[in-house]
Structure 1
Amino acid sequence: MSTTPMSTTPMSTTPMSATRRTGLQLLLLLAYLLVLTPVGFVARRVRDPLDRAVDRTATSYWITS
């Protein structure tokens, strides 16, 4: 019968790596909230990305390929 030594625990279960992972997740959350979200709001205020404006002079919106 073979037993495994106690020192073979994976590195991801150590308390320091859990702290680093949590810190990285918080950093990414802050980057998303403070950088990407305002950029998205400004981009949508400047230009409509789907170009949903109604063209009153168009006879049809049908696109032929």
Structure 2
Amino acid sequence: MYEAERINAEGGGIAVYKGREINLAEGWQGAAVCGENPVTGQAKCWDSVEESSTDPYRRRSA
């Protein structure tokens, strides 16, 4: 998982947040934490660390 400032500093990217795609370079749209799926490379964001750790998406491994 990454902090908002780090991903924005690296140029952003596209992530899924609340069922829609957001451009992290344009802001996090309220998300507090984002992570990347190690298998697909797709980024996803959540409202909290607690929410991200209960999401099955985070439990996938390469």
Q: Which has the higher contact order (CA 8 A, sep 6+)?
A: 2
Give the TM-score normalised by the residue count of structure 2: 0.17
Question: Of Structure 1 and Structure 2, which has the larger fraction of its residues in helix?
Answer: 1
Question: Of Structure 1 and Structure 2, which has the larger fraction of its residues in strand?
Answer: 2
Give the TM-score normalised by the residue count of structure 1: 0.16
